[in-house]
Structure 1
């Protein structure tokens, strides 16, 4: 007769986290919700936790960051546990894969030239990644497996990435072979051009799909501008979202002091309150 394991206690040992996850996934004694999860059902939570890590960093809330990193780590352990149950791999294999990759991609640190510049390190990293990709393709061929679905230059940019981030990565990859604008002014001109095409599409009575296509082109060009200015478009938009929330909250607070809400105020009133909130922020 197998003894029931003791209820776990909080621990700083990763092995204990792995063991707790195994317990939660154990038929007959685990959690019904955890037991019914699959790779696909957990994926949205994995993405959400990564965003919550980024949000804690942006807010400078390091106590929250500690908790959010734990939530993200749980996602890794959860996926690894499901893989182990299917005989695919286990958590130690995940750790082995990343430690091997870090050592392999840092030859300048582990036995090489430690005086390389950051730019040279990035170039070395990219060349090692390219070699890994070729080796992976050869191995798939040796095993009789189908080739990667996408073997071109833009392969490896995950489709599940946020659209702004994915656009940035696609443009950067294309830029490595010279398919890029020469300077910021050219990108700014492209943004003006794309905005004009939206105007023309609306004037011509184009359908929603055609207008949406032009809006997408404008957003893609805006990401290109951010890239040329060394600005992370995802982080920049998160910052603007936070600014919008902050200033709109100021509008609500000002109106609430008068016993009103936004629905009872005119656009001109709210715009004036917005500008006042903006002025106070700038004065600091």
Structure 2
């Protein structure tokens, strides 16, 4: 066995998994569309490992995500669309093009950059180059190219960011918070009418405004919600653990008792964090 495998070994492994003669039946029946859910799941597992600072397992999660790219490259090669080498070549060329301050000659191994650009200037330059690329693809308009398949919170943040680049934005978070309060009032009115469709629309407006608040706070809304989900799981788990001491479950407790145990779980967390 080799001391350490390489990307070439991984590409060979993938070709063997897809080999009609002796390959893996599961891998052989997969298509571009069928493995998309796995790709999304693997990306979120990478994000979770990073957020939990689980560096012991992060390299494994990154490997799982890389395997998705390898899988797509194999499918692309089989169907004559592209292969892994083309994926890498396209990526390198794009990154060289988007970093002229690092590669002023436009070549990967050319003259090193000497531009003293700060982070804001680099970001402005990056956005301008990406806009040029979108125009070259025929994607016109400020909001063009924001992928519809993104998670809704992430896509909302990207749409708002694009609009803000042309001045369509609140000057500070105060206006955003006022807008959130306005949307809450409108949601209450919609609920009072009993019109679920209208209420759903107003709820969407409220969520969109909350994403705007996250953007002004420079907080990723997806990460914030994932963190909140973990907090909810942790606290509800503490509620269940407290009830199990009496041989009961949440379904055996009143709402008042559940609320009391929930508040106790919050207090314990606060005390632990203060230590």
**Pair in the same fold by TM > 0.5:** yes
Give 1:144's aligned residue. none
For structure 1, the residue ranges without an aligned partner over 5 or more in a row are 1-7, 138-147
- String of CA shifts for 1:104-142, please: whole Å, max 9, x gaps: 1112123333432111111111111122223334xxxxx
1:276 aligns with 2:269: no
1:50 aligns with 2:38: no
- String of CA shifts for 1:38-84, please: whole Å, max 9, x gaps: 11111111111100100111111112211110110000000011011
1:32 aligns with 2:21: no
For structure 2, the residue ranges without an aligned partner over 5 or more in a row are 104-111
Distance (Å, rounded) in 2 between the aligned partners of 1:181 and 1:220: 14
* SS of match in other structure, 1:41: coil
Distance (Å, rounded) in 2 between the aligned partners of 1:164 and 1:96: 32
1:194 to 177, 183, 201: 183
- String of CA shifts for 1:190-229, please: whole Å, max 9, x gaps: 11111111111121221x2211111101000000011111
Distance (Å, rounded) in 1 between the aligned partners of 2:238 and 2:53: 21
1:113 aligns with 2:91: no
* SS of match in other structure, 1:81: helix
1:260 aligns with 2:253: no
Distance (Å, rounded) in 2 between the aligned partners of 1:136 and 1:274: 53
- String of CA shifts for 1:219-250, please: whole Å, max 9, x gaps: 00000011111111111001100000000001
Please identify runs of 4+ aligned residues in structure 1 that moved more than 6 A.
Answer: none
- String of CA shifts for 1:235-267, please: whole Å, max 9, x gaps: 100110000000000101111112111111111
- The two structures, once aligned, show a CA RMSD in angstroms of 1.5
The number of aligned residues is 264
Which runs of structure 2 are paired with 1:40-189 in the superposition (5 Å)?
A: 40-110=33-103, 111-137=112-138, 151-189=140-178
Give 2:217's aligned residue. 229
2:14 to 18, 21, 29: 21
Distance (Å, rounded) in 2 between the aligned partners of 1:10 and 1:29: 26
